[in-house]
Amino acid sequence: MSTLPDVVAPANIWWDVYAMTGIAPGTPIQIFNKSDVRLVVQERATAPPPGTFDGPYVATNWPWIATQQGVTGCWVKSSDIVFINVQVVE
């Protein structure tokens, strides 16, 4: 896996992991939540509605395979600023 520098995602906003990291959409990635708060993840092409907080949680210091080949979007949101590490799955 190739590891990129950590990414900081602001609180209460859906952020596209592919856009934050410069990784081409559709590339399989793995996300590590390096913060003390849970992170919500949604795999979808467009941003989830702003008022939502739905999706599987990524616990603190826990890896989660975010996408498989061909997924066109991966969005994350948390109630506080989070540090995540994203790796390309080769």
- State the pLDDT at residue 3: 64
* Spatial CA neighbour of 74 closest among 2, 84, 62: 84
- What is the average per-residue pLDDT within 75-83? 92
Number of domains within the chain: 1
- State the pLDDT at residue 46: 92
Q: How many residues does the chain have?
A: 90
- Say if CB 31 and CB 67 are below 8 A apart: no
The whole-model pTM stands at: 0.86
Element (H, E) at 17: helix 17-21
Looking at residue 16, the DSSP 8-state letter turns out to be E
CATH number at residue 11: 2.60.120
Instruction: Give the tens place of pLDDT for each residue, 12-52.
Output: 999 999 999 999 998 999 888 998 888 898 888 999 998 88
- State the pLDDT at residue 2: 58
Domain that holds residue 14: 2-88
Place of tokens 């999706």: 55
